[in-house]
């Protein structure tokens, strides 16, 4: 903290020189925020579409293959999109993750505080029988959830993306006989035990995406008609709709529903 001086109401000063370091820092901070927010928004839109298209397997294997054919050959956007999503995925991880060192610094601060407390023998604990949980706040917990789910998505999502990219050169036509993604390929992949990984990825992506969308809207549009309550309603909708849809899709691919499906 700076010292207290008593000069009240000094004249407005023009302190910004051209290309001052303050200006550069400010530009960098804005750029960082734009990158993490825009990549997050892009990935969120992608996931919204991706999970709906995947869920076409719930209707029939035929529809699933028609959708895959349409995306790969009619439009063809599936192949380039994989590369774009993978790149954006890693950019987002680096830029959104820039807030995580705060977490580490927090841990360090807590640790130091704890050590000092211990050294001074002035530690105390909250009464375990306490009626209250100290400082539990829903939206704050949400952000912590986002950091955690983000880590899990990084691990499982990277695996998924590489598998799919690998498939472009094998199953999807270049090296293999099968041209394009088929219901068989997808189901075999999920049913072969990878359903655990896909389930974990799906649940974490959905939670991370729904929270991210909620926070993005509140951060940028809380003073427009899109008020916080609407954003929160959207969060609940996205979270539950996609959790249910995604769970059903993973189960369908993992096998128990085989036979029921054509």
Residues near ligand HEM, by CB under 6 A: 36-37, 40-41, 43-44, 47, 89, 92-93, 96-97, 99-100, 146-147, 150-151, 153-154, 157, 205, 208-209, 212-213, 215-216, 219
139 near another protein (CB under 8 A) = yes
Altogether, the residues listed in the chain come to a count of 262
135 lines the binding site for another protein (CB under 8 A): yes
Which of ligand HEM, another protein, none does 218 bind, CB closer than 5 to 8 A by kind?
another protein
Size of the site for another protein (CB under 8 A): 54
In the complex, residue closest to ligand HEM by CB: 212
Q: Pick the binder of another protein from 49, 76, 80, 102 (CB under 8 A).
A: 102
Residue 131 partner contact from ligand HEM, another protein, none using kind-dependent CB cut-offs of 5 to 8 Å: another protein
260 binds another protein (CB under 8 A): no
Indicate which of ligand HEM, another protein, none lies near residue 168 (CB less than 5 to 8 Å, by partner kind): none
Window 16-75: residues binding another protein (CB under 8 A): 16, 18-20, 22-23, 25-27, 29-30, 32-34
Q: What is the SS3 string spanning the chain?
A: CCCCCCCCCCCCCCCCCCCCHHHHHHHHHHHHHHHHHHHHHHHHHHHHHHHHHHHHHHCCHHHHHHHHHHHHHHCCCHHHHHHHHHHHHHHHHHHHHHHHHHHHHHHHHHHHHHHHHHHCCCCCCCCCCCCCCCCCCHHHHHHHHHHHHHHHHHHHHHHHHHHHHHHHHCCCCCCCCCCCCCHHHHHHHHHHHHHHHHHHHHHHHHHHHHHHHHHHHHHHHCCCCCCHHHHHHHHHHHHHHHHHHHHHHHHHHHCCCECCEC
CA atoms within 13 A on the CB side of 90: 9
Report the residue number, 56 or 146, with the smaller CB distance to ligand HEM: 146
Binding site for another protein (CB under 8 A): 1-2, 4-5, 9, 11-12, 14-16, 18-20, 22-23, 25-27, 29-30, 32-34, 99, 102-103, 105-106, 109, 121-122, 124, 127, 130-137, 139-140, 142-143, 215, 218-224, 228
């Amino acid at each position: 903290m700076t010292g207290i001086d008593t000069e009240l109401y000094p004249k407005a000063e023009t302190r910004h020189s051209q290309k001052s370091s303050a200006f550069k820092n400010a530009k960098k901070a804005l750029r960082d925020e734009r990158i993490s927010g825009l990549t997050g928004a892009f990935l969120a839109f992608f996931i919204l579409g991706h999970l709906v298209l995947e869920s076409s397997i719930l209707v029939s294997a035929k529809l699933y293959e028609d959708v895959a054919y349409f995306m790969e050959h009619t439009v063809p956007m599936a192949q380039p999109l994989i590369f774009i999503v993978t790149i954006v995925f890693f950019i987002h991880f680096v830029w959104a993750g820039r807030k995580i060192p705060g977490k580490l610094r927090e841990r360090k601060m807590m640790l130091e505080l704890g050590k000092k407390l211990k050294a001074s023998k002035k530690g105390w604990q909250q009464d375990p029988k306490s009626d209250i949980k100290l400082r539990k706040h829903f939206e704050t917990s949400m952000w912590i959830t986002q950091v955690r789910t983000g880590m899990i998505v990084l691990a499982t999502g990277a695996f998924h993306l590489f598998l799919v990219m690998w498939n472009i050169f094998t199953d999807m036509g270049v090296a293999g006989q099968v041209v394009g993604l088929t219901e068989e390929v997808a189901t075999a992949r999920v049913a072969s035990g990878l359903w655990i990984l896909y389930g974990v990825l799906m649940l974490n992506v959905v939670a991370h995406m729904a929270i991210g969308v909620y926070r993005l809207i509140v951060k940028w549009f809380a003073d427009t008609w899109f008020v916080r309550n609407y954003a929160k309603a959207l969060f609940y909708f996205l979270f539950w709709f996609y959790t249910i849809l995604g769970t059903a899709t993973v189960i369908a691919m993992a096998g128990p529903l085989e036979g029921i499906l054509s």
